[in-house]
């Protein structure tokens, strides 16, 4: 964690003039000081800011706001290799180069691309249309709905209406809990690459059927052109 603070005698020109110092257990061993208090607040967009009141030897008492980037984003990328369709999952931090272990496909990533959170475009195909959904397998979700409908139908067939309704309510409750607590992921409309680990997806829209259909038609046209 890092904080921002102003040295003694330095004019207060805002956040851009302050320096970074590492904080360990709320103390500054090199200065012999410690926090006199700390507060926490949320801005309208839901991003958490920390406000620290510091009293340090050689440092003025000041309320210093963190620079919002409190820890590095652990962006996880899952995608299909454009060459052989092998499923590839990256580690917690994006590497400088994406490479397929099965074929010779590879693609380098610049520092700006790796640190952008959320990404402005797909790192695999360059598509700028991304949508967000819950980080939950769609097939498993469909299977849960089908199981709930089947069990409810069986209970109804045995003249157990209360059990039938209870089963539906139980599966609806599970679905609600998953919706509330599962994190969001970004999905590329064109290639289906998934980006997980970001906490700044409030401005990204959910699935849009019109946009999805546009890219589906684009894929069909490309396949037809290759076949000619």
**Which tens digits make up the pLDDT trace of 162-201?**
999 999 999 999 989 988 888 888 999 999 999 988 777 7
**70 domain-assigned:** no
The reported pLDDT for the residue numbered 94 is: 83
**158 domain-assigned:** yes
Q: Which of 29-33, 77-81, 205-209 has the lowest mean pLDDT?
A: 29-33
Q: Give the range of the structural domain holding residue 146, as residue numbers without chain letter.
A: 76-227
**47 domain-assigned:** yes
Segment (H or E) for 166: helix 161-181
Q: What is the pLDDT of residues 192-228, one digit of tens each?
A: 999 988 777 778 888 999 999 999 999 999 888 887 7
**71 domain-assigned:** no
The reported pLDDT for the residue numbered 75 is: 77
Rounded distance between C-alpha atoms, residue 168 and residue 119, angstroms: 38
DSSP single-letter state for residue 104: S
Q: Is 219 left (phi over 0), alpha (psi -120 to 50) or beta?
A: alpha
Q: Quote the number of domains for the chain.
A: 2
**55 domain-assigned:** yes
Residues 98 and 12 in one domain: no
Q: Is 32 left (phi over 0), alpha (psi -120 to 50) or beta?
A: left
Q: Is 197 left (phi over 0), alpha (psi -120 to 50) or beta?
A: left
Residues near 20 by beta carbon (within 8 Å), at least 6 away in sequence: 2, 3, 4
Residues 51 and 83 in one domain: no
Residues 103 and 165 in one domain: yes
């Amino acid at each position: 964690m890092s904080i921002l603070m102003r040295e003694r005698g330095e004019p207060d020109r805002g956040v851009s003039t302050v320096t970074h110092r590492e904080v360990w257990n709320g103390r500054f061993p090199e200065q012999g000081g410690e926090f006199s208090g700390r507060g926490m607040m949320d801005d309208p967009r839901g991003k958490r800011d920390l406000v620290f009141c510091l009293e340090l030897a050689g440092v003025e008492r000041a309320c210093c706001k963190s620079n919002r980037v409190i820890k590095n984003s652990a962006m996880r990328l899952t995608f299909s290799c454009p060459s052989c369709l092998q499923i590839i999952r990256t580690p917690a931090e994006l590497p400088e180069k994406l490479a397929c272990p099965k074929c010779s496909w590879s693609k380098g990533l610049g520092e700006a691309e790796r640190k952008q959170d959320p990404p402005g475009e797909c790192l695999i195909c360059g598509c700028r249309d991304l949508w967000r959904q819950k980080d939950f397998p769609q097939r498993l979700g469909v299977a849960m709905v089908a199981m709930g409908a089947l069990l409810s139908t069986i209970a109804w067939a045995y003249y157990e209406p209360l059990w039938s309704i209870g089963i539906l309510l139980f599966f609806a409750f599970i679905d609600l809990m998953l919706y509330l607590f599962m994190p969001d992921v970004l999905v590329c409309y064109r290639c289906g690459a998934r980006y997980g680990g970001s906490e700044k997806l409030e401005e990204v829209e959910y699935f849009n059927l019109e946009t999805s259909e546009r890219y589906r038609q684009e894929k069909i046209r490309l396949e037809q052109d290759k076949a000619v």
